[in-house]
A = this chain, B = another copy of it.
């Protein structure tokens, strides 16, 4: 089979579209943000991406229906007459599971997006601080100096030390390989502990992105999710303290945080 199989569900004509990428990773920040953006905008499925560089796996939903693991491109058309630009949102179940797979999948998706007219990319990710982060900042990296300056105006932090060793995985590669396709772009990284799924960090990232892209996003549902995670984390914390006492039983487990990884 082909290394990467892209099945187009619809033929679309997009106006100077911008690609937004958010796949599973640290704190699942990128995936949470991209999926939320897609859902809030009501972006429509455009293409399904399968690859032998994903795990050989199907998911089974509550009704017993299987679905092969994939990445998905959705599109959103800006309101007519508003002068806005259309969006492509890339989300999915996995990043490529080998270095080679990362390159192959990214390159094929970029080639597909280049055909659709994409010249600008935003990649969304988490940045693990290894400690609890009360108010996550949004760190940035960009393909050119002009974009660094532009992002600073939106409050994005460009730190001399973070990320020290560079970016590993899709969020870096979409920018690095994107340049070969003549695309410029920015990686927005929400600070997170790295210990569990972090909707609050995803919200910080999306707030910046919303301003940059000039799209309105209602954060109610994402905030509810963040509170739910807070609540579970609090319960675990209390349970762990109680379990220091004799005869204690856990009220919630770390698995309830549903950390994907």
Contacts and interface: CB of A to CB of B under 8 A. Distances in A.
A224 interface: no
Interface stretch (A10-18, A37-45, A98-106, A240-248): A98-106
A66 B104 contact: no
Nearest to A171: B58
Copies, count: 4
Interface string A45-61: 00000111111111110
Interface string A200-242: 0000000000000000000000000000000000000000000
Interface residues of A, number: 56
A128 to B, nearest CB: 15
Interface stretch (A28-36, A158-166, A190-198): A158-166
A91 B64 CA distance: 25
Nearest to A103: B52
A173 interface: yes
A64 to B, nearest CB: 4
B102 A176 contact: no
- Pick the 4 closest A-B CB pairs, nearest first: A68-B176, A52-B103, A56-B102, A64-B158
Given A56-B168, A63-B148, A65-B145, 6 more contacts: A51-B103, A56-B103, A58-B173, A62-B160, A66-B175, A97-B99
